[in-house]
């Protein structure tokens, strides 16, 4: 009897589903990184970095989007570091 767990027919949809999930993760990393530049950068930056790394490790088709999410997440942390150094805290408002 043929082992269905290792046949090409059953592994192809799982790979396609994993890639689709990784694509969604790449988009989420990008969106969180972008939002983190303006809101909650101390929280959204690390999440964006983690999601981008996960998407890249899972082999996303949206590699550029994942790399942008990674860069934006790092920029979030950089913005937070500059704000802490200049304002002695992480709270800020656009008018200050």
Q: Using an 8 Å Cβ cutoff, are 55 and 18 in contact?
A: no
Q: Using an 8 Å Cβ cutoff, are 76 and 41 in contact?
A: yes
Q: What is the pLDDT of residues 9-67, one digit of tens each?
A: 433 334 766 667 878 899 999 999 999 988 888 899 999 999 999 999 998 888 999 99
Distances in whole angstroms, Cα of residue 26 to Cα of each of 9, 16, 40, 45, 64:
27, 15, 19, 14, 9
pTM score: 0.72
Find where tokens 């709270």 sit.
91
* Domain ranges, ordered by start, for the chain: 24-96
Distances in whole angstroms, Cα of residue 24 to Cα of each of 35, 46, 48, 80:
16, 17, 12, 26
């Amino acid at each position: 009897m043929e082992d269905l767990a290792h046949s090409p027919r059953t592994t192809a949809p799982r790979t396609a589903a994993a890639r689709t999930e990784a694509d969604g993760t790449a988009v989420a990393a990008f969106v969180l990184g972008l939002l983190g530049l303006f809101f909650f950068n101390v929280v959204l930056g690390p999440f964006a970095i983690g999601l981008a790394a996960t998407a890249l490790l899972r082999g996303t088709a949206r590699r550029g989007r994942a790399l942008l999410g990674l860069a934006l997440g790092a920029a979030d942390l950089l913005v937070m570091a500059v704000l802490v150094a200049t304002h002695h805290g992480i709270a800020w408002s656009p008018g200050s």
